[in-house]
Each structure stands twice: as structure tokens, then as C-alpha cells.
Structure 1
């Protein structure tokens, strides 16, 4: 996908993140010359109308919002079978990254981030949009200080709050009790998620934890979020109250929407600022009315449980809420009735929770929400790996990826990795090896060896081969692949390369003694054969070396050499052929290795017998002459 031009306009540069439904890339809008984030739906989901509609819905929902704390959506479309969404690109980190880095945030940091989130969410709620997937991963903290909400992939119209069969959409750690038990989400479900996020910012951890998502979902449905100050004593009581108010199990007791919650957060910020960063412990100057009522009701129930404290309860209730029944017996009767009603309600709740636990247990074990260990598929055939993963309940996609170890066409790995645990239905991407990444090869012939190695650093360069040549020592003569063949224009990453490097010229040993010649060749890295070749030489004295004879071509280190030793000049005695027949004399001289020229003369003193050799001259018979020389004979006419 990197380098691809989407819809003739968006040039993909690099991958930013990957999710269950889509992958986000950094791209350049060639038309407007700006950087954008382009979200591309996974190919295997393109044929699923549910996912495709949700993807298009995200574009429409986000496009309805124009707010500085919401990630802008610029465009949406389809290129071939690929659905995409073009968004504002914000270089920076997520709130999750900040929490991981800092552990806990200060009160001021928490309130600043909450104000920004709530401002953007207020615009969404005002437009009738419920986000339904608020979590630190979806809060972007830009390098320039901007804070924005993103990823409206699960957003729905606020009126369509019944999500039958989809109660567990979103992240388990931030799901409100009504989403867990009834699958219903509205603006107050977003507020619950924000309360959990606020707790996490203040304490560095989530309020509910467990080994299985079922355990976390059960705690959301049944347990009360603890006070942040119980984990971090530096948290002011005002922020404790905000967290408790926003995470009430009963949606009716939470802020009705982001605007109501934002107003209260701003009021708390103002009070903390005016009081130097904290208020007196127990102050309720800014506690929401709904939360104050709940605390009152809690006091009332706990007091009414004790007959001995009925009068104290009556006085406390009158002090807080005005006149109440004064008669002790009447108060006790009313309290008993309330306990009976509450007992019946609790019994029904226990039955409901038991059924919920059983259903949730099935969902997260044998059901579609169960967790399964992903097998190790590295080295397997793609078809076999896909079959194995699908049988375990995973969705499978595949991508090509270069690998220097795994042969092309074989699975090189998966995402998530093997041996990790993931929920059934999770998409597992198989990475199919395309072999080593192909890289352009630099021509290094003629370079010094160290420069050549630097130029070929992307490959695996072994020991060099030393070869004798007329080039200076250390110069690269050739570069070959693992099979000894010349390198192509492009070659696989980390694949073997062998450099053939000049060892300089073979030493000239002409005129040296056999011992000196042997020492010179051995020092140069050659091997001298004990067998010698002897030849006549007019230039080199007998017993000295004429030269070294190579036995291989080309000549490389440790190759054998044979010394050619001089026998001196090749001299032969000239036969005396005087007085013999010319033909016989010529034959005798030629047999001795000479070339013969015949001159016809009239002998002194008159005519001799024709055809006889009068004399042999140049030189005369008996003299030493180099074999192959010309001897002239004089023949009588």
C-alpha cells in the first residue's frame, strides 16, 4: 500500500496505525498539497455490508461535527474495491501514550484534558451523536497542544440507542453498566466512559481489572467505581465527586450529557484555582445536586438499618431535607417496609446477575466472545495457516511482506503474534513472505575494498577472494552472488555477496635462483610445485629461473605455480660434411638441427666432381652453433 495513489489524489506515504476494521496511513493530498490521514478499510471486510455501512457512517457522523476538539473529516470515497476515509493528520501521541509515560497525571492536567474532551463531545451530543467507544486511544494529543477526539466508527444517532446483539461493542474497560446488561447506549454511556478515563488519568490504572473480559464486564455491572483518592491520596475530594457522579450505575443519576458534565468540570476548575489548588476536605460547594441527593439517600438507608439509631436518622434527615415523620414507630415501620421492598428487588437483581454471569461466561468462553491462543504459523503454507486460524474462530487477512529467512510464498508471521491470546472473531493478518526485499546494487568494480563493503552494506558480504591481476592490490575486480554469478541490477536484502579483490601482480622471478623464486612466490600467497620445467634460454644462465608458469586462470591465492628453469643456450656441434654428396651432407646437417643453404661454386684448380660438397662454412665443421641456425655448404658444379 505504501506509495500507492488513492483515487488519483492521495499518495500513501507510511502506515500510522492498524485497527480491527481499518488501517490508517499518512498520505499527501496532491491536489491541496497537504498531509492527511487516510483510513482504509480492510479488504476482507469490503464485501460485508454491515462493516461497510459502519465505515461510511463514521464519515457522515464525523463530517457533521465542526469543532476544534474533534478530528476533522475531509473526504470519503471508494477506489476500486477499497473504501477509504480522509481525515485531518495530527502528529503527536494519544492519551494512552501519555498515561503509559507519566503513570498518573496531575489535577490540572486531568482537568485540562477533560475540558477539551468534553468540549468536543458536547458538540457531538448536541448534534445527536453518541460516540460509544471513548477510551484513551481515541484521544489525540497533538504536538502543538491541541486535544481532539477521533474514531467515530461506533458512533450512532442518540435516538437509536438500542443495540441488540451489539452490547459489547467498544472496549470492555470503558463500557457502562447499561451497555453490559441491556445493550443500550445514549449520551450518559459516553459520560460513564469519561469517568473511567478520568479515574485512569488520576491513578494510572483502570478501576476494574481481571484476567478475562467477562470478569471486568461483571464488575462494571455490579461494583461501584472506587474513589481515585483511595489509589492516589493527592486527588482532591472535588475530583472524587466528579468521578463518582459520572460513573453512577444508574444512568439517571449521571450528567445528562457532555455539556452538563463540562459545566461542572469548569466549576471545579474555578474553585480549585481560587483555593490554591484544593478545597477543604468534605466540601460540597460544587458537588452536583444529583450526587448530593444520592449521598443523602445513602446516609438515610444506612441509618434506618439500625432501630437504635432511628431518632438520629430522623434528626439527620430533617436537618438535610426538611421536616419528616417524628413518630419513632412510624419511622421504624417505614424502614422495615423499605427493607422488604429492597430485599425483593435484590433477589430479582441476584437472579438477573446470575443469568447475566452465565450468559457472559458462555459468551467469553465457548461463545463467539471466547479467547483463544493464536497458533504459531511461521513457515507454514498460507492455505494451511488460514484454515487453522478459521477453525479457531478468527477472521483471516493476508499481506505480502519481505523476509530474508522465510522462502517466498510461505507465511513469515502473523499479527497478533503466535502464542498470544485473542478473542474469537479477531482479525489475524497472515504475512506471506515475498522473499528478501529487492535493493538496487551499486557497481563497485574498481573501488577500494572498504568502500565497496560500505556501498553494499544492505547485503551479507562474506570473505573476499584474492585474485592476482594487473590492478593495484585491494581494488575490487568483481562482485558475485551466492552462486558465483555476476550480480543483477537488483538483489535480495541480506543475501550473500562475494567480492573478488586484486592481490596485485604475480611476482617477477626471472633470473632468480630457484630458492629465491620459491620464497618470493610463497610470500605473495602462491604455492610452488616441487616439479620444475627446464628449457633452453639464450638470455638466462643455466640453473636460474626463466619464469613462473601458472596452472589456473585466473590465478588466486594458494594456487600452484611451476618454475621454468633455464638449461642455458641450446648449442650443437656442426657436422663436417666435406667431400660427401650434397644431398647427403644437407641431410646430415638438418638432422643435427640446422637449416641448410647450398652455394654452387667452381672449385679452385678447376672443375671437381659435380655434386660433391667442397667445404662447409659459416661455421666450419666441429664448431658449436645454436640449434636452428643456418649452415651454408659449398657444392662443386
Structure 2
């Protein structure tokens, strides 16, 4: 069985009715799941078309044809089709769930089978194909993978997905449908298939059962197909010398390259197989003993010349004998037809004690074949039964059941946000019998990017085995755009940065252009990204730098202190000031200045001087 705990359909309820429990197998066109019909409380097999095909109208139509063709066709040796539908883009088919293995599984395990075993399996397969051919259906894909061997001994043919109504005429398709190892020559060369194509495939399958391998091998499917079309199938005794001629005759008849030389349909091949079983010399070659009902003779024996009274007495005795024999035959017939059978009760959902009582009332026995975990049924109740409810089995048969062990619980693993990465946690989930569900991300100022910060369900919770756990991982610290606060008053700028999540540091610098107390620059550069808690440094203007105004005034009483206008201009301009001459006077000696000497003024400030 091919299972997968990560299959998204497992655990889902399709169409509000079919609970998908496990994946059984995956084919080229669809995946088959074991499921439970919650409405009828029975196990079923659900075949879900692959997504790539579910969106293709041609393939969907082919899938629906399978459902209609198979549902309209009923036979004990054919897997029954119960329902078909679509749910959320999933196109599905609901079929009978057969507990057992495929013929392919048996051949892998055994290698090859005895003639009695091979014919014993082929007969019910041909019975199913015979009924299909009589209904105007051909299978088109007869192979060991499509032959199911139930544990109770039943043989079932599965996957009539390639069958088409042919109304007793050949069908033609533009595509070569089937498995190359079992393709009839006409399918390879002309792309046509009829009942004789199924006969050919059944013959190839018989060859493989008897010898352990199909007749043709090749480096590629095309090479194998070529050999089907251009070579005669050898007798199986060429590989297994102990095989009798009767077996060779069946295989060679079924696999004739010319369809006209094969049995006309599965019914005709079935007659050849039955005759071959009778001709086999070994006692067990016929498989199970065949019960034959011999009809009672209706002839009356009359003896001439006997006295009348004696004749009457003999007739009376003969009548009694006939009646006794008829009664015995009737009883035997009742026993063979009805009395020896019991009807299998429905046991799923009841306790083992109740199931034992129900089985005993039906003249059957209960056999616990195994236990399994179940989210649907409490511990100690029956979750599955091998023999189908309402079916007939011999009295005294052991009904094989599977008992629930209850829910299989496991614990959601813990994690360390500082150290547990997503990959590490997914491994921990797998070890605990769980799988990773949706993964989301969120920023976190303390947990490194990529590490796990939360789960749903939470760590430590008890959940069902094979459940999925949603995971949240850290994206690391959240980037924050650095606001542009240049030109704002220092207090306002600091508040803006702090509201955005930044810390603020300040320094001061003189500026001839930016007013005092206003932000001149910031670092990091505005427009870039920082992180919450990062420090943004502001440079706040102190206004222009001030310098002392030099003394350029003269004392008229002391000629040594006299400073001319030109001398005053040179002194002031050297100090970085601009000079404006007010009164020039007659002698050009500076006697007054504004602002006064020693005043603190910025460079470029205009100093006015007056002279006499």
C-alpha cells in the first residue's frame, strides 16, 4: 500500500460524505484512496483524478464515461461502482473497497503459479470479461494490476476506466490506450480493440502467471509493442518444461496474432480454460472440487407378468422410495442452495462483545484480524470487516474484523525560538508523527529570521497522529523608514523619531543658514530603513558663530591712538566684518563705531564707523 502522510486529501470529507482515510495507490491518471462512506457507514475506495487531468474536459469526459459504463455493469467478479461526482475541483469515483492484494502483488511474492492456481484465478476473470463482452463492453487494460484477490478468496476485475460501449462492433481511438506488455497486435498496428483484444491480454496474463514473466521484454515500450505485432507468443512450456500441452494450447489460442484465430470473446476462452482444467492429469489441477447436481430419474420400472396385487405393492414401495429420495434430494438441495449459508451481519461501529453476539446469532464466528487507530470509532469497536454485510458465506465462517484502538494521539513538539529553524522543526514534527501545515511569517525584534516563533496547535498539545501543524516563523526585525526631520525644531524632530520607534541622540553645530534650535542634518540618511530601537543622531543648529568686534576708535587727545578710516576698514574686514562709513569728517580719524568694541557678532556683520 502506498501511503503518504503529506497527501492533502487525506483527512478531507469529499462532498460532505466520503472521509478520505489513506492513500492506496497512485496511477497515471488518478489516485485511489481508502475512505469511509459516512452516510452508509461502510469502507469504500475513492478514485480521484489528478489535477492536471481534472482541468481537461476530454479527460473529465472519459472519467465520467468510466463511471457510467461501470455503474451500469454489475457482476460478482467486477469491482462495483457506487457513485461519481466532483468537489472543489476534485473529480472522483466511488467504488467497492476490496481488502486483499493484486495479482501483481502475488506474482512479485511467488514468482510463478501452478497451472491449477493460474487457471483458478483466470476463470473468474474471464467470467467477468464474458459478462462485459455480452453487454457490449471491452476492458482494454487487462493486466495483473487490475485483478484484485480478496482475502476471502474472491477474484475481482478492477478499472473498467478504458472500457467503451461498442455495441458488438470494434471501437477505434486516436490514442493507444492500455499497458504495452499486454497490448494485442491490432491495438499496436491499427489502434483498434474489440473483445478479442481482451482475450489476447488474458492469454498474456496467463503466460505470466505460469512462467513468472510476460513473453516479451525490450529496452523500451516501443520495442515490446513491436514484438507483439511481429512475433508469435511462444508456448509457456518453452520456459517451464513441466507445463502440460493443454496449458500451451490455451495460451497459444488466446494469443494468436490474427484476431480471427483467437476465441471470439472471453466466454469462448472460458470454455477452453474449463476444458483444460478437466484434461489436467494431476488430482489438484482442477483447483477446488466442483459440486455437480445429478437430476433424479423420472422413469418408472414396470415388470411384465407379475400379479396385480404384487404390482400394486411394488408400485407403492417404489412410490415411497421416490418420495423418500425426493425428500432427501429436496433437503440436500435446500442445504446446498440455502441452508449451508449464513448472512453476514453489519458489524462496523459495534463493540467486540456485541459483534461476537451478532456473529453467533448468524451462525458465524468473529475473528479479530488486526487493530488500527481511528478518529471515528472509539477503542474496542469494529472499524472494518472483510466480508461484506448482507453477503452470504458458509455457516461457521470466521468474519475477519479490524478493531479500533481509539485515537492515535501524539504531542506537538516544543521549540526554542532562539535556536529552532523551520527545517529543524519540520524534522521534529515528522519524528512525532505529524506534518507541517501552512507556514506564515511575521516580524519579531528578538527572534532571528527563519526561526519558529509560534505553532497552531500550540507546542505540548495532544493531537491526532498524522495531523498537520501550522507554523509561524520569524522574519527578523521589522524595517522602519527613517523620517525626514531636517528643518524641524529639535524637540519636534525628536518626538517624531521616537514615535516611529527610534532612539534619538543630538549634537550641535554652528550654521550661518539654519536658525538656532533647528535640525541641520540626521544620520542615518532620511528615506532609508532602520529597525525599532536603532539610534538616529540629529545635528541641531546653534545659529551662526559670533566673534568679538575689534576696537577701531581713536582718542583725539592722544595722537598715538589715532586710526584712520582706511586703517579701521582693514582691521574690521580682516576680522570678517563688513564696514560702513557714516561720517567721514575733515581729518578722517575714526572716533565712533557701532556696535561697540568687544561686541559679539557673526562674521559678515556690518560695523558702522564715524570719523572727524
* TM-score w.r.t. length of structure 2: 0.47
* TM-score w.r.t. length of structure 1: 0.45
